[in-house]
Structure 1
Amino acid sequence: MNETSEGPTPAADLARSAVTESDSHAPLRAEPPSYRSAFAAAPLAMAVVDREGLVVSGNGALGTLLGTEPDALAGCVAADLVDLASDARVWHAYREVLGGRRARLRCTRRLKHPDGQTLWVQVTVAPLDDAEPGVLLSVADISARRELQARLRHLQMHDPVTRLPNRTLFFERLSAALEAEAYEQSGTGRIGLCYLDLDGFKAINDTLGHRVGDRLLAAVAERLTRCADEAGYARASTPLVARLGGDEFALLVEDSTGTDQLSELAQSVLKALQAPFDLAGRRLSLSASIGVVERHAAGTTANGLMQAADTTLYWAKADGKDRWTLFDPERNAHLVTRQALASALRPAIERGEFVLEYQPLVAMSDGRLRGVEALVRWDHPQFGLLTPNRFVALAEEDGSIVPLGRWILATACRQARRWQLDHPDESPIFVSVNVAVRQVWDSDLVADVADILAETGLAPELLQLELTESAVMGSAGRPLQALQALSEMGVHIAIDDFGTGYSNLAYLSRLPVSVLKLDGSFVRGFQYEGAKDPAVPPNQADEVIVEAMIQLAHRLGLTVTAECVETSAQATRLRGIGCDTGQGWLYSRPVSPDRISELLGTESYAVGNP
């Protein structure tokens, strides 16, 4: 419905002849025949209406439009003829014009012709003039224009390939479904969405051409529509199927009854698409990945729902494709947190939000402190103190591990030198620092180490660099050259988590490695009869493997550190088979530099230190 206020029109002058001077219900007053003839013969449907809203006179065009004789219009309620009373706003504006308080009314109304045909008309009501009582009502048939507008809108709102609603219409329907009045009065108050992407479509489209690709999309649309029709059978509404672009489709379920309904719909779609497509003499197969979201409509936005669906679709593809995945708030929260941490990493390095803790490395022969492993922590202002497993992988992905690793190395070396200066009478302890492979590739690690050692005054032999077994065993070219240069400098190289990666023992003898750190998975199962901690049953295979690795390492001139030593039983057995160093909660958790200062000079490391 449209309303506008404008000034008088020339048609009002034409209609003056239709009003009598004394009685609005009287016959047309005596005027020159040309005026009366012009009013009667005008192609525009018109009527003169008095101040009470009754028709004084109507012309032939109006009678034809309304399916009645012109003479029968006199005395009729004008508002009833053109449906002005059914809309409160229009009715109020019409009464204002009749009372002379409004200049003009223009609106669009839908009328029912006596022959059953529906008409769209534009109604205009305007005063005749100050000297003449009443108003002129004119009615223009705009059905053809409306029909053209409807066709144009359909073309604008539908995909030409599949004839499905397009992205614009989909979001229009989705936004309307999320309006409060759409779900508060009736329905379940819930909404669901299946957001799907075709697996393997790009390969078909690229190899067989866009014509075949378009035919395949149309065939997919037919199957999706059939699934939606079956899902809507005996329900209040049928899911809306739309093509959002490319090979992405959506099925919108208004008034969802819950996740069971959405999962059944997603499963039926997967099954429907698994059947081969016969197109142009070719038999084509594809599948789909579907993200499923179902939630209360209240508080949900279109963008929020689509973002959740897009995330869930990504999970479905990452989990192996040809499947549907339901939105998981916990998984999404983890992803959001991960993204938040990734974006904050570099600024956090600049702000100095990272700290180091140190875990003792204890000689198993005499229980004396021999060294420490530096372990980085992120003191995040929102999430608290974070351990490396929360952010190191992210730092490796975006390259911030390089500046972070440089800071860790410098801080650890500076602290090791400080301990040495504060305890000149004690044997200096070494510090072990973890190094990521990307630090070797993306930076000049050798130069960084040399500069840091020169700056801090720490002797090279008091620095140990730890790399994972898979990284060291796969080293070639630049990484291997860097390790060799560091070894020649006097820095010790340790293989961390040994026993879980390549375990290429033949290659091990050719690497500049001086220490093996046994992975904790071996040590945790390392028990014997009489162990104080019976929670972990004895694993003789682990004992045999560990003993063999220690003997092999010693034959190669390497020392061995056992990680995750948690019980005295483990320590006793490891000591008995010649393990050199132990690390784990039996001795200490990672602690502050001050706590390490307290432990220096201890005759024998006290078991169970916090």
Structure 2
Amino acid sequence: MSGTSEGSTPAAGLDRSAVTERDSHAATCAESLEGADPPAYRSVFTAAPLAMAVVDREGQVVDANQALGELLGGDGASLVGRVAADLLDLASDARTWHAYREVLRGRQAKLRCTRRLKHPDGRALWAQVTVTPLDEGGPGVLLSVADVSDRRDLQARLRHLQMHDPVTRLPNRTLFFERVSAALEAESYEQSGTGRIGLCYLDLDGFKAVNDTLGHRVGDRLLATVAERLTECAKEAGQNRPSEPLVARLGGDEFALLVEDSTGTEQLADLAESVLKALQAPFDLAGQRMNVSASIGVVERHAAGTTATALMQAADTTLYWAKVDGKDRWTLFDPERNAHLMTSQALASTLRPAIERGEFRLEYQPLVGMSDGRLRGVEALVRWDHPRFGSLPPNRFVALAEEDGSIVPLGRWILATACRQARAWQLDRPDEPPLFVSVNVAVRQVWDSDLVADVAEILAETGLPPHLLQLELTESAVMGSAGRPLQALQALSDMGVHIAIDDFGTGYSNLAYLSRLPVSVLKLDGSFVRGFQYEGTGAAPNPADEVVVEAMIDLAHRLGLTVTAECVETAAQANRLRSIGCDTGQGWLYSRAVSPDRISELRAAGPDRAAPVGAPQNP
């Protein structure tokens, strides 16, 4: 490559008059240099171990010492008259070339750059080039060149150590993120390729047990062997493609395979399948034969608009899904599932403030007597009027509230609001049998608060008789109760509060234990009721469900308990439940969950209106 001065042609293309002018100028520069104590100048310049040359303002070498000649594979005299930019590759990039010309013109004080040069013997060397002006008004610039190949090699080795994992010798997290960032840059996908990027992010299932039982040395050998198998998978995946996936160890037992210019989710799915298959073969380590599986999160998308952080967040989330879904599998990133997760996180972070802001309200679903169709009670169901997501049912946030403990203040508010409303209904129609209110209680409310004291205080404040309050707990929670929870349930029962087991038939179903619990009501899970005959569907009833329901109702009655059937949707179901002795029912046949005013209307209407038969409605 030739270096050029602004407004001139490369030296190799100069005409005869230009060469004559150049030689004349070079001679003048030489005379000027030799006029300033020539013996001292020549002695220092020639003997200096640093490779140097004097370059005129046109970029031509006026003088060069022997060290520079040897560095470039010749002698100093042979370099005189050559274009310095050509010798040292100073014109190979625009920035360096511009800076070099500015120094030649006296507009810039100094230039220092590193160039990769090719020696005539074929070897490559790295040279640090420094260009500085001579004395003001002097003939040109002084160019010095230092061979920094050894330093560069050392730096390269150090960087390799810094960027690679010592156990597996794979690229480490730092190098992996460098490659991801480079792949996501606009230049990487605008010039060529598919413009897509894929990632398989995996960790080993149960690796901690290997370290704990067999020691870290065996664990490291296992990681190294896993790395070898992953590398083989990458090589196979890279056949007949421009490049093979990058395999990296991100830390611990976490690995990643980066696919640049991916062709779609099918390619990533095939890679994930090959990884799982490669890890299925047993590992023989230090006389130990073991089997290892992995969970893999797979992400594949357009590179445009994606960041390394977003890509890794998606991969980490998907890896978590693979773990939750059962391990030893790969899971593809699902935007809808991720959006639901993000919504859940947003809800969890605003639960407590929402309680303080009063964003919750209660609706009530009727509990109807099966024998006469009269409204006997209601179940209080909480709704969250979220300012962003609208009205949310309890299954969208109750589990989150249980996780972070906000179920305690929320549960206290629900209990107080429901009891206050039940008392209002009682006072509104004092001559009629009062309605009881059923409130769901989470086990954490029993553990993290004094539920007995809360109930007693709320009943005293609202004036609601204890027998008009029913507390519902899930079967698994009640059946597993011991110690404090069981004591609390007993104290509440002694107070006169009714205890109901919700979703009965889906948990432990420990009937012997049931007889010793302070329970007064069983609520049959809706899955049993759905097995009954549906009107107009032509579907036959499930005899097994009917036998089980009839047996549970008979057992409950023998234990002195009443039974409520959930999810009653058709008259046929209601008739069958009535015939086998079910006490109360709730479901779309009667009403969805409605406002307190609507409950008052249903109550005033009597049994004919309290049990309307119609199309199911969403709860």
What TM-score, normalized by structure 1, do the two folds share? 0.92
3-state DSSP of counterpart to 2:412: helix
Distance 1:29 1:417, change over 3 A: same
Q: Does 1:608 align with 2:612?
A: yes
Q: Does 1:504 align with 2:531?
A: no
| Separation in structure 2 between the aligned mates of residue 559 and residue 226 of structure 1, nearest angstrom | 65
Aligned length: 589
Offset, 1:496: 1.9
Structure 2 match to 1:373? 379
The 5 A counterparts of 1:140-159 are 140-159=146-165
Distance 1:567 1:201, change over 3 A: closer
3-state DSSP of counterpart to 2:113: strand
The 5 A counterparts of 1:354-503 are 354-503=360-509
Distance 1:515 1:284, change over 3 A: closer
| Separation in structure 1 between the aligned mates of residue 183 and residue 553 of structure 2, nearest angstrom | 68
The 5 A counterparts of 1:173-188 are 173-188=179-194
Structure 1 match to 2:602? 599
Runs of 5+ unmatched residues, structure 1:
1-18
Distance 1:288 1:406, change over 3 A: same
Q: Write out per-residue CA displacement over residues 552-584 of structure 1, whole angstroms, 9 at most, x where no aligned residue.
A: 333333222222222222223333333322212
Structure 2 match to 1:583? 586
| Separation in structure 2 between the aligned mates of residue 48 and residue 181 of structure 1, nearest angstrom | 40
The 5 A counterparts of 1:159-308 are 159-308=165-314
Offset, 1:237: 0.7
Could you tell me whether the CA contact under 8 Å between 2:382 and 2:393 is conserved in 1?
yes
| Separation in structure 1 between the aligned mates of residue 291 and residue 234 of structure 2, nearest angstrom | 21
Structure 2 match to 1:568? 571
Structure 2 match to 1:91? 97
| Separation in structure 2 between the aligned mates of residue 20 and residue 263 of structure 1, nearest angstrom | 69
Distance 1:370 1:127, change over 3 A: same
Offset, 1:21: 10
Q: Write out per-residue CA displacement over residues 367-406 of structure 1, whole angstroms, 9 at most, x where no aligned residue.
A: 2222111111111112111111222222222222222111
Distance 1:455 1:287, change over 3 A: same
3-state DSSP of counterpart to 1:24: helix
| Separation in structure 2 between the aligned mates of residue 599 and residue 21 of structure 1, nearest angstrom | 111
3-state DSSP of counterpart to 1:355: strand
Could you tell me whether the CA contact under 8 Å between 1:463 and 1:492 is conserved in 2?
yes
| Separation in structure 2 between the aligned mates of residue 493 and residue 309 of structure 1, nearest angstrom | 45
Distance 1:453 1:88, change over 3 A: same
Offset, 1:177: 0.8
Structure 1 residue identity aligned to 2:612:
G
Q: In the alignment, which of 339, 348, 364 is matched to residue 345 of structure 2?
A: 339
- Larger mean Cα displacement after TM superposition, 540-549 or 148-157: 540-549
| Separation in structure 2 between the aligned mates of residue 54 and residue 446 of structure 1, nearest angstrom | 97
Distance 1:27 1:365, change over 3 A: closer
Structure 1 match to 2:557? 554
Q: In the alignment, which of 44, 51, 65 is matched to residue 50 of structure 2?
A: 44
Offset, 1:484: 2.1
3-state DSSP of counterpart to 2:231: helix
Cα root mean square deviation, aligned: 2.2
Could you tell me whether the CA contact under 8 Å between 2:26 and 2:56 is conserved in 1?
no
Could you tell me whether the CA contact under 8 Å between 1:426 and 1:601 is conserved in 2?
no
- Larger mean Cα displacement after TM superposition, 364-373 or 104-113: 364-373
Structure 1 residue identity aligned to 2:430:
P
| Separation in structure 2 between the aligned mates of residue 488 and residue 201 of structure 1, nearest angstrom | 51
Structure 2 match to 1:24? 29
- Percent sequence identity over matched residues? 82
Q: Does 1:327 align with 2:333?
A: yes
| Separation in structure 2 between the aligned mates of residue 423 and residue 560 of structure 1, nearest angstrom | 26
| Separation in structure 2 between the aligned mates of residue 499 and residue 282 of structure 1, nearest angstrom | 46
Distance 1:266 1:445, change over 3 A: same
| Separation in structure 2 between the aligned mates of residue 585 and residue 67 of structure 1, nearest angstrom | 94
Offset, 1:436: 1.8
3-state DSSP of counterpart to 1:290: strand
Distance 1:127 1:508, change over 3 A: closer
Offset, 1:25: 6.6
- Larger mean Cα displacement after TM superposition, 433-442 or 583-592: 433-442
Could you tell me whether the CA contact under 8 Å between 1:164 and 1:242 is conserved in 2?
yes
| Separation in structure 2 between the aligned mates of residue 298 and residue 213 of structure 1, nearest angstrom | 39
Could you tell me whether the CA contact under 8 Å between 1:494 and 1:517 is conserved in 2?
yes
Distance 1:200 1:502, change over 3 A: closer
3-state DSSP of counterpart to 1:600: helix
Structure 2 residue identity aligned to 1:182:
S
| Separation in structure 1 between the aligned mates of residue 344 and residue 123 of structure 2, nearest angstrom | 62
Could you tell me whether the CA contact under 8 Å between 2:53 and 2:144 is conserved in 1?
yes
Offset, 1:352: 1.3
3-state DSSP of counterpart to 1:601: helix
- Larger mean Cα displacement after TM superposition, 268-277 or 58-67: 268-277
Q: Write out per-residue CA displacement over residues 118-175 of structure 1, whole angstroms, 9 at most, x where no aligned residue.
A: 1111112222122422221111111111111111111111111221111111111111
| Separation in structure 2 between the aligned mates of residue 444 and residue 604 of structure 1, nearest angstrom | 39
Could you tell me whether the CA contact under 8 Å between 1:446 and 1:485 is conserved in 2?
yes
Q: Does 1:35 align with 2:38?
A: no
Q: Write out per-residue CA displacement over residues 322-377 of structure 1, whole angstroms, 9 at most, x where no aligned residue.
A: 22222222222222222222222222222211110011122223222221111111
| Separation in structure 2 between the aligned mates of residue 174 and residue 381 of structure 1, nearest angstrom | 38
Structure 2 residue identity aligned to 1:483:
L
Distance 1:277 1:372, change over 3 A: closer
Offset, 1:86: 1.5
| Separation in structure 1 between the aligned mates of residue 275 and residue 557 of structure 2, nearest angstrom | 61
Could you tell me whether the CA contact under 8 Å between 1:563 and 1:582 is conserved in 2?
yes
Q: In the alignment, which of 62, 66, 69 is matched to residue 68 of structure 2?
A: 62
Q: Write out per-residue CA displacement over residues 479-516 of structure 1, whole angstroms, 9 at most, x where no aligned residue.
A: 22222222221112222222333333333333322222
| Separation in structure 2 between the aligned mates of residue 567 and residue 396 of structure 1, nearest angstrom | 34
- Larger mean Cα displacement after TM superposition, 409-418 or 365-374: 365-374
| Separation in structure 2 between the aligned mates of residue 340 and residue 444 of structure 1, nearest angstrom | 29
Q: Does 1:538 align with 2:538?
A: no
Could you tell me whether the CA contact under 8 Å between 2:34 and 2:41 is conserved in 1?
no
Could you tell me whether the CA contact under 8 Å between 1:25 and 1:75 is conserved in 2?
no
Q: Does 1:114 align with 2:120?
A: yes
Q: In the alignment, which of 528, 532, 553 is matched to residue 526 of structure 1?
A: 532
Structure 2 residue identity aligned to 1:294:
E
Could you tell me whether the CA contact under 8 Å between 2:26 and 2:62 is conserved in 1?
no
| Separation in structure 2 between the aligned mates of residue 248 and residue 218 of structure 1, nearest angstrom | 12
Distance 1:349 1:536, change over 3 A: farther
